[in-house]
Amino acid sequence: MAANTLTQYDFFDADPARQERYMDRVCSFLSQRCDTPPLALVHSFGCQQNSSDTEKLKGMLARMGYGFTDRPEEARLVLFNTCAVRENAEDRVLGNVGALKAYKAANPELIIALCGCMMQQPHMAEKVKKSYPYVDLVFGTHVAHMFPELLYTCLSEGKRVFNLSEESAPMAEGLPVLRDNDLKAWLPIMNGCDNFCSYCIVPYVRGREKSRPSKEIIREATELVAAGYKEITLLGQNVNSYGKGLEEQINFAGLLHQVNAIPGDFRIRFMTSHPKDCTHELIDAIAACKKVCNHIHLPVQCGNNRVLREMNRHYTVEEYLELAAYAHQKMPDVTFTSDIIVGFPGESYEEFQDTLELVRKMRYSALYTFIYSRRSGTRAAQMPDPVSGEEKGRWFQELLDLQEKIGLEEHEAMVGGVYRVLVDGVGKTGEGYLTGRTESNVIVDFKAPKEIIGQFVQVRVTKARNWLVLGELI
């Protein structure tokens, strides 16, 4: 719909009432031009934080009168919330944007919008501006709450709209949310990152750390429990830093105690937790709060101290292992998952072997593994990187094989045990199977009637597989 003329915003406004007015304007604009409610296709790339942000974007779209579709040929608006953490995520976005060109040609009224971390990078926004002229609306992470205003400008003026403001402000409150799940909910407690790990683009695209006031978090969590949600995941780029910059004196351990005190039968999870800020106080809180799951996602990234220093991680392997040992002392049944980067610039095969040794010691229940991806603008992008992609691929496979063996052994140790499982849907094992997760985040498939979906049940594990366990309902 938008012409090739361009409206370049540098404008930032944190007033939610202003965006409410623009939601009304968009709704009125569309009602005058559409015989039926317009449909939007919304897709999120990347992390759980992006998924949560997308639920807010969908909430605003619903408030503006849009329905939703998965078919681009039916859509009057396509919105991609993009990811910049790895190159393949950016490639996937651009591939999907390229495929929209034909739909735009068939339907000139179609609005194509891109937002999120990838668009907060000036060079990527410039690439979209020049190489994808049929993209109508581009905005970054700091102004996602201004989506109604930006969309109204695009619709009413018929121009391309770009807003890449880098101004940072407290997290916007009061936005409508359309959740993708009625059983498990994302609950952001903070945004941004101050750590500047040398490989990571997040601090540059998400900005500095900003925490929500605890009263807002408790209000939202209480509403979720009242609405029947059984699992709440507290989100942040580094939840262990929660509380920095707030007027109130509170840290993440204190927040866990507050959420745990909300009446109701529900679980609390959290991610992501930075090892340098993980304290004995936090582990004590996890152990004391019975609704907080005994599963800790603690990204280590590497098992060699020299490489960790080059990554700017601010902890040693020994400190990481001490934290894990303390957690096992307080919670014998605690489980850990982690992130690992293979082939960081300058990493040798001998140093990679230290990572394998750490994995053997930690015996993670699951790993999220990645081959290093160069991110323009980070310090690691300037480091010599002599190891070939083929060699890194061999290391990567070695890590996968080790974790597969450990994961199967850990699952085999569960056979015969009885676990409390939150049933969250239909399983993929076969006809009649449901699926759920234990408190330690292990997937369990078992035969049971669909009527128990959404409930906590007791399941006895009968068989282990690499990626899940099978069980029987008690």
**Distance separating alpha carbons of residues 218 and 240, to the nearest angstrom:** 17
Strand order through the sheet with 335-342: 295-297, 335-342, 366-371
Contact 161, 227 (CB under 8 A): no
DSSP result, 39-95: EEEEEE-SSHHHHHHHHHHHHHHHHTT-EE-S-GGG-SEEEEEE--SSHHHHHHHHH
DSSP state of 301: B
Residues facing residue 44 across a β-bridge: 81
Strand order through the sheet with 159-163: 3-9, 159-163, 137-139, 111-116, 77-82, 39-44, 67-68
The annotation places the binding site at 47, 83, 117, 193, 197, 200
**Distance separating alpha carbons of residues 155 and 137, to the nearest angstrom:** 10
Contact 69, 189 (CB under 8 A): no
Would you say the C-alpha torsion 251, 257, 260, 261 has a positive or negative sign? negative
Would you say the C-alpha torsion 48, 50, 53, 57 has a positive or negative sign? negative
Would you say the C-alpha torsion 132, 144, 89, 304 has a positive or negative sign? positive
Contact 166, 207 (CB under 8 A): yes
The annotation places the binding site for [4Fe-4S] cluster at 47, 83, 117, 193, 197, 200
